[in-house]
Chains A and B, each alone.
Chain A
């Protein structure tokens, strides 16, 4: 999350650098420019042979962003995509925020990319004008040439590089951005640059990075958050073939931030030897207060807590008065457990400490956070940390937090060689920054049509804020702003309350973050209300959304987070949410598919990351209670779409991610330790469990680009449980679904 990072820095670290302060780059000269030949922007350069070198400053974890943002540059540059080479940026604030998170890459950088491309095109046109001695306005960049229509003259971009390099960089106001009708790549169906490599195993990920002479580390970490190393015995380790030495990593000082967890490392000449050596370690820990943490007990505490009043975070009308006089009340509590990101590539990095500086190759969503965290760990300046960004084998938020890179850097200094750290799957599942477990209590007073006249929503969950402030117990603005205090239903009396809750494990942000549990509770509750009223669910939601309007969101005691965007540019617009719901209903055949035996549709519509999404999920439950998902229809209004192909793929993937967390995801803890360890006991959806097909319907929109990586996730779980209720009569109020017998 760009925005979480910003809060962390400003609110907790006091750094002057805000991640939101974009260095737009146009005209900035740099020693690490795209090419030494000519770089009119930090985001691009041209070589004399005409190759356009476009810098991808955001991390590639599967969204396609390192192709799609360069396509925007190439479009405005009027570049031939075949003559473009994409170069991955190292971590550097000159690019603006590189924290690839929060579904904001396009939203935050679309304009900057267009300006970078248009700047270079204008300068090439000016160079041609100078060469031909004609007015620059008569010269036009076209598919890697500048042409002068009057004279029929034509020059390849490469021929113009030398002259262009002598020209002043034009002011932003002088740029001519292309009209939409002339877009060459924006909004078109282009494959990403990495597709071919991935079919040949040629993509290089963090786990594939090597440095000469490196050792491989396997680390025994404190089994409980905050546990301290009491003693260890490595006498049996040294007999393991390939083991070079052991080394200890000190524990963190609170708050834990992105610091290394600490522990005892075994360093060896291969991944295997390091892991074998680690098995021979004997380590004693002082577990500390979190050694008593038990997730079942915590769940009971949370579910009890939300029956009590909490801190009011949204308040309209007078819910107490309406509840007191109501003849019909409906209430329910919901629970979503801790979840682990489990990207297919576990955290991995290689780092070398040399002469007071660190060079690292890391699978990271945020190379600038790597610089800061490693600098903090080593006591050096962040400018002395060079972070090369590899491909990421999935991220989902886990790889925004560079504790594993700190481990590699710390160990490299200790052993005097480059060190590669690759987490095992067990390490990944047991030492994650977990998606928060959450309890939600919902209460509504209902009129004679079953419509709410008052609405109360209480939530309690450990906050991401505990990463930055060890004492944090209340939710952060961004957590509350994720589908909770911004609920746009037309209900006159509306209150939201937050109950404080302490973390016992590291809490982090995972794809769609707090929307996951808020969406599950809210849309499940709506489904219950529609069922209680015996009304069609789609019609009921449309009624709840009320007239087409922009809903001003005014929470209590804070500003509305809204992804750090103004409500003027990105309002909460009920017309857009209704529209996606109508499209999803129509495309799925909602009106004609009435629930049959064990087979039914479910629905949910949710705004997240400024994008409007409605999902209709079809489930089939057989007579043994086994559930399959034959079809999902998702309608999406994400504003302007740059790459429809990648937008669809993100929403298809989100449906699978949502299915995993709805059906099977659950992390538990006993005696402070995480119980799960691998895909056998932390299952994720496999091919036969995933939706058989997800149809993505991109709703044309004139709104500015919002976000696409995450918004497909939140409606999936409540749509699945809505369908389960329609198919079986079983009401699921607690995830994952697999804990409930369906027949």
Chain B
């Protein structure tokens, strides 16, 4: 029996310990804000926080999630809206919106580690997150607004 916390709630899981956290979140808990994009840690659509670290849930097994605190996009601004969520709206970042949960979770981890990121910091932190619609310049702008740094 695997025990973990998801968005503050204690959960138990007795299925295949090799199942990636992504499919537990999506298929078992119906937390569908976390998206499937590649299944191989290549696109970042499935990014969640595991003990505060941005993590690709599609390549994180339930065995490895045991005992951890997981935060998904649904939990990020649950108490009060995260500044990134406000900035995302301000910049009308989303086109299709599919990758944006992962983008925001990745950016949230960046700002936690580096509250005032440079352009290079943003490139480094966000290069694992693909947006096929091509919203990158607005993602960068929204991160800079949320961080209060100049473009």
Residue B64 lies at the interface, judged by CB distance under 8 Å to chain A: no
Contact B137 A692 (CB under 8 A): yes
| Least CB distance, B139 to chain A, in whole angstroms | 7
Contact A270 B28 (CB under 8 A): yes
Residue B101 lies at the interface, judged by CB distance under 8 Å to chain A: yes
Residues of A within 8 A of B28 (CB): 270
Contact B130 A652 (CB under 8 A): no
Residue B66 lies at the interface, judged by CB distance under 8 Å to chain A: no
Question: In the complex where A425-B38, A687-B123, A690-B136 touch, is A200 in contact with B74 (Cβ < 8 A)?
Answer: yes
Contact B123 A196 (CB under 8 A): no
Residues of B within 8 A of A210 (CB): 30
Question: In the complex where A680-B40, A692-B137 touch, is A195 in contact with B89 (Cβ < 8 A)?
Answer: yes
Residues of B within 8 A of A63 (CB): 95
Which of the 9-residue segments A37-45, A149-157, A292-300, A337-345 touches chain B? A337-345
Chain B contributes a number of interface residues (CB within 8 A of A) equal to 59
Contact B19 A270 (CB under 8 A): yes
Interface string of A329-351 (1 = CB under 8 A from B): 00000000000001111100000
Residue B34 lies at the interface, judged by CB distance under 8 Å to chain A: yes
Residues from 410 to 469 in A contacting B, C-beta threshold 8 Å: 422, 424-426
| Least CB distance, B149 to chain A, in whole angstroms | 16
Q: Report the Cα distance A551→B87, complex, angstroms.
A: 46
Residues of A within 8 A of B117 (CB): none
Contact B98 A394 (CB under 8 A): yes
Contact A686 B130 (CB under 8 A): yes
Residues of A within 8 A of B16 (CB): 241-242, 272-273, 276
Interface string of A635-647 (1 = CB under 8 A from B): 0000000000100
Residues from 98 to 151 in B contacting A, C-beta threshold 8 Å: 98-101, 104, 122-123, 126-140
Contact A679 B43 (CB under 8 A): yes
Residues of A within 8 A of B67 (CB): none
Contact B85 A199 (CB under 8 A): yes
Residues of B within 8 A of A530 (CB): none
Contact A393 B96 (CB under 8 A): yes
Interface residues of chain A: helix, strand, loop or mixed (majority): loop
Question: A393 contacts which of B23, B35, B140 (Cβ < 8 Å)?
Answer: B35
Residue A187 lies at the interface, judged by CB distance under 8 Å to chain B: no
Contact B132 A394 (CB under 8 A): yes
Contact B92 A693 (CB under 8 A): no
Q: Report the Cα distance A685→B133, complex, angstroms.
A: 10
| Least CB distance, A686 to chain B, in whole angstroms | 5
Q: Report the nearest B residue to A428, measured CB to CB.
A: B38
Q: Report the Cα distance A61→B72, complex, angstroms.
A: 23
| Least CB distance, A718 to chain B, in whole angstroms | 18
| Least CB distance, B13 to chain A, in whole angstroms | 12
Contact B23 A687 (CB under 8 A): no
Contact A344 B137 (CB under 8 A): no
Residues of A within 8 A of B45 (CB): 344
| Least CB distance, B34 to chain A, in whole angstroms | 7
Contact A691 B137 (CB under 8 A): yes
Q: Report the Cα distance A499→B133, complex, angstroms.
A: 34
Residues of B within 8 A of A216 (CB): 27
Q: Report the Cα distance A345→B38, complex, angstroms.
A: 9
Chain A contributes a number of interface residues (CB within 8 A of B) equal to 67
Contact B96 A391 (CB under 8 A): yes
Residues of B within 8 A of A207 (CB): 32, 35-36
Interface string of B1-44 (1 = CB under 8 A from A): 00000000000000110011001001110111111111110110
Q: Report the Cα distance A195→B20, complex, angstroms.
A: 29
Q: Report the nearest B residue to A216, measured CB to CB.
A: B27
Residues of A within 8 A of B38 (CB): 425, 678-679
Contact B132 A343 (CB under 8 A): yes
Residue A392 lies at the interface, judged by CB distance under 8 Å to chain B: yes
Q: Report the Cα distance A205→B96, complex, angstroms.
A: 10
Residue B52 lies at the interface, judged by CB distance under 8 Å to chain A: no
Q: Report the nearest A residue to B38, measured CB to CB.
A: A425
Residue A130 lies at the interface, judged by CB distance under 8 Å to chain B: no
Contact A200 B19 (CB under 8 A): no
Contact B134 A198 (CB under 8 A): no
Residues of A within 8 A of B84 (CB): 199
Residues of B within 8 A of A203 (CB): 97-98
Contact B42 A242 (CB under 8 A): no
From B27, B74, B122, residue with most partner A Cβ within 10 Å = B27
Q: Report the Cα distance A196→B26, complex, angstroms.
A: 21
Q: Report the Cα distance A216→B36, complex, angstroms.
A: 15
Residues of B within 8 A of A64 (CB): 95
Question: A344 contacts which of B26, B31, B96, B122 (Cβ < 8 Å)?
Answer: B96
Question: In the complex where A204-B32, A345-B98 touch, is A654 in contact with B134 (Cβ < 8 A)?
Answer: yes
Q: Report the Cα distance A343→B101, complex, angstroms.
A: 16
Question: A205 contacts which of B31, B93, B98, B127 (Cβ < 8 Å)?
Answer: B98
Residues of B within 8 A of A241 (CB): 15-16
Residue A235 lies at the interface, judged by CB distance under 8 Å to chain B: no
Residue B73 lies at the interface, judged by CB distance under 8 Å to chain A: yes
Residues of B within 8 A of A343 (CB): 96, 98, 132
Q: Report the nearest A residue to B45, measured CB to CB.
A: A344
Interface string of A170-198 (1 = CB under 8 A from B): 00000000000000000000011011111
| Least CB distance, A286 to chain B, in whole angstroms | 29
Q: Report the nearest B residue to A655, measured CB to CB.
A: B134
Q: Report the nearest B residue to A393, measured CB to CB.
A: B98
Residue A684 lies at the interface, judged by CB distance under 8 Å to chain B: yes
Q: Report the Cα distance A426→B72, complex, angstroms.
A: 25
Q: Report the nearest A residue to B101, measured CB to CB.
A: A201
Residues of B within 8 A of A316 (CB): none
Residues of A within 8 A of B88 (CB): 195, 198-199
Contact A392 B37 (CB under 8 A): no
Q: Report the Cα distance A654→B95, complex, angstroms.
A: 12
Residues of B within 8 A of A424 (CB): 39
Residue B60 lies at the interface, judged by CB distance under 8 Å to chain A: no
Residue A62 lies at the interface, judged by CB distance under 8 Å to chain B: yes
Selected A-B contacts with CB under 8 Å, 14 pairs? A60-B96, A191-B89, A197-B97, A199-B85, A207-B35, A272-B20, A276-B16, A394-B96, A396-B132, A422-B36, A645-B92, A649-B92, A649-B135, A685-B134
**6 pairs of A and B residues whose beta carbons are closest in the complex:** A201-B33, A656-B134, A393-B98, A62-B96, A198-B97, A62-B95
Given known contacts A191-B89, A270-B27, A679-B130, what 5 new A-B pairs fall within 8 Å (CB)? A199-B88, A216-B27, A654-B134, A656-B134, A680-B40
